Structure 1
Amino acid sequence: MEMAKPLYKPGMDNRPAGKYREVGPRGGAVSNPRTVTIGRGDRLPPTQEPGRRWARS
């Protein structure tokens, strides 16, 4: 059984630096997902729609 990746809410800070992909509320794929790269100590930006989350790529 595969472990689910942790999901992060928009605006959370102090997440590990790296690439994050926009996903649905429970981690499912969304159409036209946004991908961002954050540095150490940066906040995760807002998602395109309310209720979506960020998952580390």
Structure 2
Amino acid sequence: MSDELKKPGEIAQRSGQYEITGPRGGRTGEERTVTKGEPLPPTPQAGQLYKLVDPTKHKGSK
């Protein structure tokens, strides 16, 4: 998992569950599912950021 915080509107580098964090990095318990290459959605409050907490696991195509 990445400890890197992302701003709303940034392009997701990995698909998965992104948790919304408070302005000082506190957990909110709210998550959004974002697909790689898509922008992170707006947050409910100004100053909130996203942290990837559960990357999507892909099995190879068969």
| Common fold: TM-score over 0.5 | yes
Question: Which structure is larger by alpha-carbon Rg, 1 or 2?
Answer: 2
Unaligned runs of 5+ in 2: 54-62
Once superposed, which parts of structure 1, at least 4 consecutive aligned residues long, lie more than 6 Å away? Answer: none
Provide the C-alpha distance between the structure 2 equivalents of 1:14 and 1:21, rounded to a whole number of angstroms.
13
The count of aligned residue pairs is: 52
Normalised to the residue count of structure 1, the TM-score between the two structures is 0.77
Larger strand proportion, structure 1 or 2?
Answer: 2
> Equivalent pairs: percent with the same residue?
35
Cα RMSD over matched residues?
A: 1.7
TM-score, normalization by structure 2: 0.72
